[in-house]
Amino acid sequence: MIAMPRLSSGLVIAGAYADKVRRTLFAQVRDLIRQDKEWARRAALAVAQLNRVLFALFVERLKVDKGDVVRVRIDYDVDEERRSFTWDWGTLQIEVFRRVPGEELEPAVKDIIAHAAELSTAAVAYTIEKLGETEDGDVIYLIRLGGVEAGAVEVTPVDQTLAILKKGAVLEPTPAIFERARMELKQGLEEDLQQVLSAVISSAKHVSVDEAKKVVDYIKSRVGAKPIEYTAPEEEELGEE
């Protein structure tokens, strides 16, 4: 049997794991990406799915601090015919270097593994807060996740039944940019926008933290709002396998 490839993040500051996971997978499949740029999109989607699961574990379940140290290992399958990646969720191994009792960590990992397939593609429960309107009539909203500022979005209302999502970006649970989507309004602008954003991870362009933050800061600047209160700690390569 041919061994499956393995992604290993190495020891990394928790606030930087999303970028490290992305860079590691892209490095491992760079030959495929050179052959066909579609592989880059598929790799980005796979990273987003993994980061969605890791966010649920680190942030929502274990409340890991961004300054803690973590290591992620997981095997995956590459289907060259279908140009797809499949995570082997049962091989997910997590190490968290902080004072987390083993009796808390192990049940959390087992529970996440049991639901990983659903979590990786699940909608994200974003909420929004109106920041203001631009001179040309666009409406700017702050995006929150779990009460914490996570991004921003720019929307152009057309009439009571139609709006255009012009551009937006989020940093959590994985950095992503989304743009130019038609929104048929059924409940109201804010209600429908919130539903659209909650499914953004499956259709967005998955990027680095810096790329997403630049978009968020630009959107907020359109109504004079200050840059997002988000500081991704500098990545520290603390060790290898």
Question: Would the pLDDT of 239 be above 70?
Answer: no
Average pLDDT over residues 37-44: 91
Mean pLDDT rounded to a whole number for the chain: 88
Separate counts of helices (H) and strands (E) for the chain: 6, 11
pLDDT at 203: 74
Average pLDDT over residues 26-30: 94
Whole-angstrom distance, CA of residue 165 vs CA of residue 157: 9
Question: Would the pLDDT of 86 be above 70?
Answer: yes
pLDDT at 236: 46
Question: Would the pLDDT of 232 be above 60?
Answer: no
pLDDT at 134: 95
Whole-angstrom distance, CA of residue 156 vs CA of residue 138: 5
The Cα angle at residue 121 between residues 98 and 215, in degrees rounded to 5:
75
Average pLDDT over residues 24-30: 94
The predicted-structure confidence for 144-190, as pLDDT tens digits, reads as follows 988 889 999 999 999 989 999 999 999 988 899 998 888 889 898 99
- 241-to-6, 11, 108, 237, 238 alpha-carbon distances in Å: 11, 8, 23, 11, 10
Compare 198 and 181 and report the one with higher pLDDT: 181
- 52-to-26, 57, 102, 195 alpha-carbon distances in Å: 17, 9, 23, 18
Question: Would the pLDDT of 4 be above 90?
Answer: no
Question: Would the pLDDT of 234 be above 50?
Answer: no
CATH architecture of 6-119: 2-Layer Sandwich (3.30)
Q: Return the domain boundaries, the chain.
A: 6-119, 126-221
The model's confidence at residue 123, banded by pLDDT at 50, 70 and 90, is confident
pLDDT at 158: 92
Q: Residues 229, 170, 189, 199: is their CA dihedral positive or negative?
A: negative
Question: Would the pLDDT of 49 be above 60?
Answer: yes
pLDDT at 2: 54
The model's confidence at residue 240, banded by pLDDT at 50, 70 and 90, is very low
pLDDT at 179: 86
- Nearest C-alpha neighbor of 169 from the set 78, 79, 230: 230
